[in-house]
Structure 1
Amino acid sequence: MRTLVLITTLFWSYVTLSNVLYAHSLQADVARISDLIVFAPWGQRVLQHVLLFPALLGCYWASLRIGWTPTWRVLAQSTLGVAFAALTFWAMVLVIELLRLLQLQTAAAGQPPESIGVLWIASFTNFFLSYGFGLTLVTGFALYQRFRDSELRVAALEREWGAARLAALRMQLSPHTLFNLLHTIRGQINWEPQVAQSMMVQLADLLRRLLSAGERDFSLLAEELRFVRLYLELQKQRFADRLTVVLPDLEAQPAIWVPSLILQPLVENAVVHGLAGHGGPIVICVEVLRSSDSLILRVVNTISPDHAIGCDGIGLSNVRERLAVQFGPQARLSAGPTDATTWVARLTMPVLREFTQQHRPPGQPVF
């Protein structure tokens, strides 16, 4: 309502000023050839516009409430405009009578012409056009406000949707990882109880890290590698005679942020698919490559020559979706065999050197 009052006030002030100046200019031209008063003095015109302002404001308020669809609303809008324009001549008559009663004006001054119908038509036409221009201005600004508010709501919904989507993806990881690790420990309980107990301690540590990482969108690269190492150590206790792990030096990693748990599905795939289809040893190697503006994470593992691996499993689909949410087209995942015995999953993403978890929405990191 304050915006409507402000816009209507500014518009009507402009209309008042322009009408007063226009009438004064024409009356000056008439005065050169005749003493006849054709146009009302400026004071009367100002009072006329002041009296009309509440009616104009009410019509504009009703117009915004009515709207333009369906057709009967258009007829209602036209009725408002016609009613307002029809009042304008009688507002001038009321001003003249009030000034006469207050003895602020002589009886002859400002008398309307005998042809009241002509004057009424002229006033109606002038103010009906002014009303239409003002209505266009008010309606246009109202539509702009609605568009701006809808854009803000859409942006807020997109942020909330992105956060909810990432949370769902992280929750998808936790049960999947936990199930596989519990299955691994279960296989050791009967044969090697002490190993199973040690693995339970490591699993507790892993779960604490998993819960902590699951509450954040991003983690430091060193923390992500530390989580991967803990997971692979659990797997090595079961497959000590088959599994060889090569990890980069955690202490030498720069302070770079990566999506939390982004490597976990790839490493888990490397273990599951590397061990499947044969009884020989496998090697899992995690590599970190970095350029000025790109970070490349590679998970390389050996596979059985006769074991076919699909490229669209749950883990890979999860990683691709998270990259799309958090980086858009700036990040990508490629996965596939390089030869008959080697499988490579390659993550490429921007180098994220700074990140404020509490103040930055998903997908808007600082590079």
Structure 2
Amino acid sequence: MEKQKIYWFCQLFGWTLLIAVEYMAYVLEDGFVADALYLAIANIFLGITLTHLYRLMIRRWNWVRLPFVRLAPRVLLSIFVLALIMTMVNLPFDRLIVPQHLIDEPWPVIGYLLSWGKTMLTWVLSYTVYHYLEQSRNAEIEKILLKTSIRETEAKVLRSQLNPHFVFNALNSIRALVYENPEKAQKGITQLSNLLRNSLLADRRKTVELREEIKTVEDYLALEKVRYEDRLSCNFELDARTLFWQVPPMMLQTLVENAIKHGVSKAVGGGFIEVKSTIVADKLHIIIRNTGVLGDKEASGGFGLANTAQRLELLYGPDATFQIFQEDDNIVCADITIPAQSEGLFRRSEKAKTS
């Protein structure tokens, strides 16, 4: 609505000022003539009407969406038509009102066309260029919004693809407990319920606090430890300042699951899982170490590793990093770096540090 008011103000003020200047020049030269004043007023309304019709036409057929090579001829033709109409209206009246000005003009039509053509060229180019640039800007914004929407959809798909992995392993662990230890089976069902709830929420949330993600990992490892017993040892070293940092939901669980599947489960004497978090240069660093041999990343990690890298890229861009490497002969290390998302996060982290 504000743009509409500005448009009509510019129309009224612009045409009135233009015609008023021309009329005052005529009055200073030839004196006051009532018919000339009436024609000047008529030109104000005629100029506003013609240019407004051009505006309706360009909006009706979306000319500003056309490529330049198709837009330019239409604009030039419109300028000629507008100038021609103004000439056809003004020239006959000027022959009656100020015939002395046309005596020395061999081709008055050409002169009028050029004069009104310059006026229409100024108006049409100003309006068209403004809306052409505005349309280009809106198109860029739409592309950005579409790209953001696509990235969000991709992120949701990636999160949803995590669910079958931990559900399958958790159910197998609980099944083994049902007859051997019903009490542990009940506890296992509670832990599985927590995992399922977090999995469902993962489809709705972009990030969760690290402490919540760690609780999910602990529930998962508790279920896996039922299967591996003493063959699996777990250790957590968490900096209190990191517990409130935002991380992708189910990301650590996927990496821990991958570490057990391709590392600990293949080791004859079992192995260990170690999760460590710290803050370095205002960035969260998470390190997951486990028993295993990395080998071919596609074969020993596959979807989980590619998923983690892609999710970090979608959420944080190039500021987040993920790498996995062979730290020692029988130790694989996954290193994740996540940037802070807000100052509030730092304040909560510092609060956790001092508490």
Same-fold status (TM-score > 0.5) = yes
Match of 1:50 among 28, 45, 50: 45
Q: Give the drift of 1:139.
A: 1.2
Q: Quick one: distance in 1 between partners of 2:275 and 2:97?
A: 97
- Name 2:353's counterpart in structure 1: none
Which deviates more, 15-24 or 329-338?
15-24
- Name 1:171's counterpart in structure 2: 160
Q: Does residue 1:138 correspond to 2:127, yes or no?
A: yes
Q: Quick one: distance in 2 between partners of 1:353 and 1:3?
A: 35
Q: Quick one: distance in 2 between partners of 1:73 and 1:214?
A: 46
Which deviates more, 344-353 or 330-339?
344-353
Alignment of structure 1 residues 282-293 onto 2, 5 Å: 282-293=271-282
Which residue identity lines up with residue 48 of structure 2 in the other structure? F
Tell me, yes or no, if the aligned pair for 1:295 and 1:348 is still in contact at 8 Å.
yes
**Once the two structures are superposed, what CA deviation does each residue of 1:140-181 show, in whole Å capped at 9, x if it has no partner?**
122123223223322332332232222111111112211122
Q: Does residue 1:125 correspond to 2:114, yes or no?
A: yes
Alignment of structure 1 residues 19-98 onto 2, 5 Å: 20-22=20-22, 24-25=24-25, 28=28, 31=29, 41=36, 44-66=39-61, 67=63, 78-92=76-90
Tell me, yes or no, if the aligned pair for 1:256 and 1:354 is still in contact at 8 Å.
no
**Once the two structures are superposed, what CA deviation does each residue of 1:23-70 show, in whole Å capped at 9, x if it has no partner?**
644774xx5xxx7999x8566434323233212321343245453679
Q: Does residue 1:216 correspond to 2:205, yes or no?
A: yes
Q: Quick one: distance in 2 between partners of 1:270 and 1:71?
A: 59
Report the secondary structure of 1:248's partner residue: strand
Q: Quick one: distance in 2 between partners of 1:27 and 1:344?
A: 90
Please, which runs of 5 or more residues in structure 2 have no aligned partner? 346-355
Which deviates more, 123-132 or 182-191?
182-191
Match of 2:323 among 309, 329, 334: 334
Tell me, yes or no, if the aligned pair for 1:8 and 1:134 is still in contact at 8 Å.
no
- Name 1:10's counterpart in structure 2: 10
Q: Give the drift of 1:282.
A: 0.8
Q: Give the drift of 1:202.
A: 2.3
- Name 2:216's counterpart in structure 1: 227
Please, which runs of 5 or more residues in structure 1 have no aligned partner? 98-107, 357-367
Q: Quick one: distance in 2 between partners of 1:5 and 1:195?
A: 73
Report the secondary structure of 2:334's partner residue: strand
Tell me, yes or no, if the aligned pair for 1:257 and 1:355 is still in contact at 8 Å.
no
Q: Give the drift of 1:285.
A: 0.8
- Name 1:237's counterpart in structure 2: 226
Tell me, yes or no, if the aligned pair for 1:63 and 1:77 is still in contact at 8 Å.
no
Change (3 A) 1:133 1:344: same
Change (3 A) 1:21 1:341: same
Q: Give the drift of 1:253.
A: 5.2
Which residue identity lines up with residue 79 of structure 2 in the other structure? G
Report the secondary structure of 1:140's partner residue: helix
Q: Does residue 1:205 correspond to 2:194, yes or no?
A: yes
Which residue identity lines up with residue 324 of structure 2 in the other structure? A
**Once the two structures are superposed, what CA deviation does each residue of 1:169-201 show, in whole Å capped at 9, x if it has no partner?**
111111221112223334455666654444233
Which residue identity lines up with residue 221 of structure 1 in the other structure? L
Change (3 A) 1:339 1:24: same
Change (3 A) 1:205 1:84: closer
Q: Does residue 1:321 correspond to 2:310, yes or no?
A: yes
Change (3 A) 1:74 1:298: closer
Which residue identity lines up with residue 271 of structure 2 in the other structure? I
Report the secondary structure of 1:346's partner residue: strand
Q: Give the drift of 1:248.
A: 2.9
Change (3 A) 1:235 1:12: same
**Once the two structures are superposed, what CA deviation does each residue of 1:315-367 show, in whole Å capped at 9, x if it has no partner?**
111110110011101111111211111111111111345679xxxxxxxxxxx
Report the secondary structure of 1:280's partner residue: coil
Which residue identity lines up with residue 197 of structure 2 in the other structure? R
Q: Quick one: distance in 2 between partners of 1:278 and 1:170?
A: 29
**Once the two structures are superposed, what CA deviation does each residue of 1:245-275 show, in whole Å capped at 9, x if it has no partner?**
1113697754322222221111111211222
How many pairs were matched up? 338
Identity of aligned residues (%): 23
Which residue identity lines up with residue 265 of structure 1 in the other structure? T
Change (3 A) 1:207 1:2: closer
- Name 1:310's counterpart in structure 2: 297
- Name 1:258's counterpart in structure 2: 247
Q: Give the drift of 1:124.
A: 1.8
Q: Highest CA radius of gyration, 1 or 2?
A: 1
Q: Quick one: distance in 1 between partners of 2:136 and 2:283?
A: 38
